[in-house]
Amino acid sequence: MSNLFYHRDLTKAQWNKIKFIFEKQKKKGRPTLNPLNVFKAILWILKSGARWRDLPTHFGNWNSVYHTFRRWSKQGIFEKILQIVNKSGENTRLIEIDSTFCKVHQSACSNLKNQAIGVSRGGKTTKIHALVNEHFQLLNITLTAGNVNDSECAIELLQAVQIEGKKVLADRAYSSSKIRDYIEKNGAKVCIPDKINFKIPHKIDSELYKQRNIIERFFQRIKNYRHIAFRFDKLSVCFLNFVLLAAAVIHF
């Protein structure tokens, strides 16, 4: 597990993995902030769940750091970091799909539309839908309002990865004929238990299904970061990029 769960700072080896992404580019106007210092500030926000305004002064002006975070999000910096970390050379044989709820803090609630916030039994929530392999590596992700059914995003998530020759694990929330047909037509093995109302039962490898705990443990790891356990971001793009960052740093 990543040292970032236990230490407040990056090690030199960890920074060396990703620092080339932040190479300075010639830019007119104000001088750019030190990328290492900004990255440490973003990690502090991720771990603490604090407001940007509460960022310690040694990280610099909180507003400048925030706008740098927004710019990096638009540039896909955190997605690139995840891709670098995922290049471990390990073959993927399992693909697991599931979702988890995140309680939306009152500071994240606004009149903005299409920000993946909905009302469910838990109040205002956002749902993280994820694909993970057996190495706890995030393969694909999307956010929805908390009241959206898990199965609605399944095929969209699976379409972004190569599933041929692999085994797809999910709980019975994904047990629909449409999802099963998609998986089988793309050359993957289905390991999903039937819903109670299925008339024709499907065989399931019970030993293989036990490995579905991997995605639950993945969610537990990223929720060790308070900024993921609770949603404090008004904009879904900001929350999504914090999730991508959390998924990356657990492999640093």
pLDDT tens readout for residues 71-110: 999 999 999 999 998 876 567 899 999 999 999 999 898 7
Place of tokens 């390991």: 191
Overall size of the chain counted in residues: 252
Residue 116 has pLDDT above 80, yes or no: yes
Quick one: how many helices (H) and strands (E) in the chain?
Answer: 10, 7
pLDDT at 88: 60
Q: Among the listed ranges 12-16, 136-140, 179-183, 245-249, which one has the minimum average pLDDT value? A: 12-16
pLDDT at 190: 96
SS3 157: helix
SS3 152: helix
pLDDT at 27: 58
CA distance 27 to 35: 14
CA distance 36 to 76: 17
SS3 190: strand
